[in-house]
Structure 1
Amino acid sequence: MASFYYGYNRMVMIRRVGGREDAMDSPDNRRWTPADLSALERDAFVAALDGVFEQTAWVAERAWEQRPFSTRFALWQALVSAMLAASHEEQLALIRAHPELGTRAPLSAASGGEQQAAGLRQESADTARLAELNAHYRARFGHPFIVAVAGLGREEILAQLEQRLHDPPQQEFARCLGEIGRIAALRLAQRVSSA
């Protein structure tokens, strides 16, 4: 598998205040263990996993019910199961929460780092082509093109986007959910130890 090199740099630290747990940014590079996460109250757990699923807290809220997690993989399975068990409308909202690739709009720290590493935040000869393909994709499917960009270059991403424009809508919807699951696995690997 490709090295994880994107720039997620916001960690969450939990502190106990007056009998309750509060999440706050951590100044260090602490990685959670599955046991640490399993011991958290629901709100703190959701805060610790903020950004694993783009702007979508309900995935972590529902996965919390599956505690305890013995491994990072078990945590990932619970998160993906929550995503797949959601209604079509919730899944569509999750897909739509993702930014378009190569956009100049503000991005979450995780998305910005991933897109930067894939070369999508720099102007290049194919910037207009990417914008045009993104527009065609959104017009055809009603949501942004989603691909886990880690380990991919611009040309590979453009080729996938071009090819997937021809896929049936139901197949593409399922593919986007699969890519979101892959993105979540990569983001979890940055924050959570394997056991």
Structure 2
Amino acid sequence: MPSHMTQEDFMDVFGGVYEHTPWIAEAVYAAGLTGSQDTVAGLHDSLRTNVDDADDEKKLALLRAHPDLAGKLAISGELTADSTSEQASAQLDKCTPEEFAEFQSLNDRYKEAFGFPYILAVRGRNRQEILENFRSRVDNTPDTEFAEALKQVHRIALLRIEALFQEK
């Protein structure tokens, strides 16, 4: 139960729910945990609120903390354990050379257009669905894509919290 954890334990378990952005979990812990955060929905809501209340600079840093899908970090084995598992669940580690080349091209176009990597909660999706989504989003407006990327970050966090609660 999160409300009964020490700060060290809470950070060990939930500090990585938002990719490479521990300040979110730190802020929730510092505000004081209650029984309402002992559920998946309650904890996710608290974490999400901290992100939503942050300024755009912090939100952009959060988005930039995410890796490219089927990118160089994945190939070199440098993703977090969560990202590795998520990308493998969508079989992004099994891309054909053509799919890999398309991911690289889309990643480059997307980052050039928006200043952060393409983000999608990939668990439960296959490579073709992901590529179709990627192709459709690369031409969005910056405001639309900033909002969509944050929505996807929150979805990823929710799925990670659900998995952590199942482990406990």
CA contact (8 A) 2:71 2:103 kept: no
Q: Which stretch of the first structure deviates more once superposed, 182-191 or 68-77? A: 68-77
1:67 aligns with 2:67: no
1:45, distance to aligned residue in structure 2 (A): 1.4
Q: Which structure is larger by alpha-carbon Rg, 1 or 2?
A: 1
Give structure 2 stretches of 5+ with no counterpart. none
Match of 1:120 in 2: 92
Match of 1:42 in 2: 7
The match for 1:134 among 76, 94, 107 is 107
1:71, distance to aligned residue in structure 2 (A): 1.6
**Structure 1 segments of 4 or more deviating over 3 A?**
none
CA contact (8 A) 2:15 2:26 kept: no
CA contact (8 A) 1:56 1:97 kept: yes
Q: RMSD in angstroms over aligned alpha carbons?
A: 1.7
Distance in 1, matches of 2:43 and 2:138, equals 32
- Higher relative contact order at CA 8 Å, sep ≥6: structure 1 or structure 2? 1
**CA distance 1:88–1:129, change in 2 (3 Å):** same
Q: Deviation per CA, 1:20-71, whole angstroms, max 9, x where unpaired? A: xxxxxxxxxxxxxxx3x11223333122213211011011011222521242
- TM-score w.r.t. length of structure 2: 0.89
Distance in 1, matches of 2:95 and 2:141, equals 31
Match of 2:45 in 1: 77
The match for 2:64 among 96, 101, 104 is 96
Taking the TM superposition and a 5 Å limit, the aligned residue runs for 1:1-195 are 35=1, 37-64=2-29, 65-68=31-34, 69-105=37-73, 106-124=78-96, 125-193=98-166
Task: From the two aligned structures, give the one with the greater strand fraction.
Answer: 1
Give structure 1 stretches of 5+ with no counterpart. 1-34
Instruction: Describe the SS at the equivalent of 2:61.
Output: helix
Instruction: Describe the SS at the equivalent of 1:121.
Output: helix
- TM-score w.r.t. length of structure 1: 0.77
Q: Deviation per CA, 1:68-113, whole angstroms, max 9, x where unpaired? A: 1242110010011111111111111110000000013110000011
1:122, distance to aligned residue in structure 2 (A): 2.0
1:192, distance to aligned residue in structure 2 (A): 1.2
Identity %: 35
Distance in 1, matches of 2:115 and 2:158, equals 25
Task: From the two aligned structures, give the one with the greater helix fraction.
Answer: 2
Letter in 2 for 1:182: R
